[in-house]
Amino acid sequence: MLMFFLVFFLILFFSGVISFVSSRKHLLSTLLSLEFIVLSIFFFFFFFLIFFNFELYFTMFFLTFSVCEGALGLSILVSLIRTHGNDYFNSFSILQC
């Protein structure tokens, strides 16, 4: 049963990594794939801690930091859309910022 969960979460994690690497056009799609990776890691930690009867305090800390990371990503997205008008990577460069 543990191997099934491990393979399932590895498939989730690597599908998120593949979608993160392959999406280069929009910032929103890269942020969504990052959140998918964080969510798959959260589920892995949650089931791992439940399987070995550990406390779940670490999942609360991890969830708190992942929410802060998501809010930071959304604030960067909103500021880029306000300054450049869209979220395409091709429309802005590092030299302008």
The CATH number that applies at residue 8 is 1.10.287.3510
Q: Which residues contact 9 (CB under 8 A, 6 or more apart)?
A: 40, 43, 44, 47
- Domain range for 22 is 2-84
Is 51 among the domain residues?
A: yes
Is 96 among the domain residues?
A: no
Is 66 among the domain residues?
A: yes
Is 89 among the domain residues?
A: no
- Identify the band that residue 68 occupies on the pLDDT scale cut at 50, 70 and 90: very high
pLDDT at 95 over 70: no
Number of domains forming the structure of the chain: 1
Is 9 among the domain residues?
A: yes
pLDDT at 6 over 90: no
Is 68 among the domain residues?
A: yes
Spatial contact of 46 and 59, defined as CB atoms under 8 Å apart: yes
The mean pLDDT of the chain is: 87
Is 45 among the domain residues?
A: yes
How many other CB atoms sit within 10 Å of the CB of residue 37?
19
pLDDT at 52 over 60: yes
Spatial contact of 67 and 5, defined as CB atoms under 8 Å apart: no
pLDDT at 94 over 70: no
DSSP character at residue 80: H
